[in-house]
């Protein structure tokens, strides 16, 4: 079996990880998390979302968080922008990458961004154009790529359709997202194959929530297909407020532990990463939702 020799991880903890937290997390804590992640060697960090504060109150401090980050050369800072209003606000914060987020499920599109898939593409079109005109990289997420909390199982053809639409409007990279973590390896392979009809293997990433404990298996299945980019979340935080029952993304710590054990390079210092996950978990007054972190923290105690 041939695996990629190198994997790029986007830590989405500050955004996906925290967006679902009910109690407000101060901007200073979010900024500190970003700093700790970049000190641990992360070169891609999804920082925040420029979305409606009525829809996602936790992300209302997006501009403040972006302004407070001490930028490290070589690190790409990304933000979510669902429409031009979000993009225009984000632009002032100088993101390196913006993310538009579509869904392979009509029902989820309606619940999450209040419009149909087709309408969402029309909203993203000027966003992608403006971003590219400003030389900002454009990523697209395809939510519910294997299953939807409202529609159930999603056919791979839906993923191919959304990938095609995103490609047509100039989205440069897509993330195949198992929003509610229901996917299993063969289903995820099919979703990836559908994405590969329109994007090259170098322009696709996996975004796996771990609700059913399948995310590492799904990551391994994707690695075997040559997919080498993954969104993961520090301490396994995360969830979408509009995806009922969804829990966190796969923990960055667990993925890095697995990749290190496989001899795959990530450039990440696992010890520092564990400290970053512990920092945010301590703030939230819970234990990191990562088996590797738990095991390694116990080992430190001797
Ligand atoms: P809408 O209500 O249809 O928007 O929401 P609208 O254009 O009709 O505007 C309504 C109000 O929102 C207006 O304010 C606008 O100014 C304001 P009002 O006049 O009522 O005071 N507004 C905004 N404010 C700030 N920033 C903006 C913005 N746009 C409009 N960008 C909208 C449509 C998309 C804005 C809304 O549905 C929304 O914010 N949704 C965001 C939902 C979200 O953030 N979900 C989580 C992220 S996606 C995710 O987690 C999945 C992912 O991880 C992959 C996976 O796991 O699947 C990426
Ligand atoms: Mg997500």
- Domain-wise residue ranges, the chain: 8-301
User: What is the structure's pLDDT at 1?
Assistant: 63
The answer to whether the CB of 105 is under 6 A from ligand 1 is no
Q: Which of 46, 47, 49, 51 to mutate to test the pocket of ligand 1 (most atoms within 8 A of CB)?
A: 51
Ligand nearest the Cα atom of residue 241:
1
User: What is the structure's pLDDT at 243?
Assistant: 87
- Distance (Å) from CA 118 to ligand 1 centroid: 16
The answer to whether the CB of 191 is under 6 A from ligand 1 is no
The answer to whether the CB of 49 is under 6 A from ligand 1 is yes
The answer to whether the CB of 250 is under 6 A from ligand 1 is no
Q: For the beta carbon of residue 202, count every other beta carbon within 10 angstroms.
A: 11
Residues of the chain with confidence (pLDDT) below 50: none
The answer to whether the CB of 249 is under 6 A from ligand 1 is no
- Distance (Å) from CA 140 to ligand 1 centroid: 16
User: What is the structure's pLDDT at 241?
Assistant: 84
User: What is the structure's pLDDT at 258?
Assistant: 98
User: What is the structure's pLDDT at 239?
Assistant: 79
Ligand nearest the Cα atom of residue 240:
1
CATH of domain 8-301: 3.20.20.70
Q: What is the pTM of this model?
A: 0.98
Ligand 1 atom showing the smallest separation from residue 85 Cα: 31
Catalytic residue numbers read 240
């Amino acid at each position: 079996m041939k695996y990629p020799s190198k994997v790029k991880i986007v830590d989405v903890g500050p955004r996906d990880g925290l967006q679902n937290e009910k109690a407000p997390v101060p901007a200073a804590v979010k900024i500190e998390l970003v700093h700790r992640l970049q000190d641990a060697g992360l070169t891609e960090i999804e920082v925040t979302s420029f979305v409606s504060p009525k829809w996602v109150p936790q992300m209302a401090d997006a501009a403040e968080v972006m302004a407070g980050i001490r930028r490290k050369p070589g690190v790409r800072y990304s933000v979510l922008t669902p429409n031009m209003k979000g993009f225009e606000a984000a632009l002032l914060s100088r993101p390196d990458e913006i993310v538009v987020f579509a869904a392979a499920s009509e029902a989820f599109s309606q619940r999450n961004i209040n419009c149909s898939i087709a309408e969402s593409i029309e909203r993203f079109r000027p966003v992608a154009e403006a971003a590219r005109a400003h030389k900002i990289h454009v990523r697209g997420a395809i939510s519910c790529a294997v299953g939807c909390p409202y529609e159930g199982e999603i056919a791979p053809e839906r993923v191919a359709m959304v990938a095609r639409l995103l490609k047509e409007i100039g989205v440069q990279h897509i993330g195949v997202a198992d929003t509610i973590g229901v996917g299993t390896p063969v289903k995820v392979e099919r979703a990836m194959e559908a994405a590969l009809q329109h994007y090259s293997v170098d322009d696709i990433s996996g975004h796996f929530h771990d609700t059913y404990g399948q995310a590492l298996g799904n990551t391994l299945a994707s690695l075997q297909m040559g997919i080498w980019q993954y969104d993961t979340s520090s301490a396994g935080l995360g969830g979408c407020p509009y995806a009922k029952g969804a829990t966190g993304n796969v923990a960055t710590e667990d993925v890095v532990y697995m990749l290190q054990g496989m001899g795959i390079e990530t450039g990440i210092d696992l010890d520092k990463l564990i400290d970053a996950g512990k920092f945010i978990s301590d703030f939230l007054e819970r234990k990191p939702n990562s088996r590797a972190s738990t095991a390694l923290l116990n080992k430190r105690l001797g």
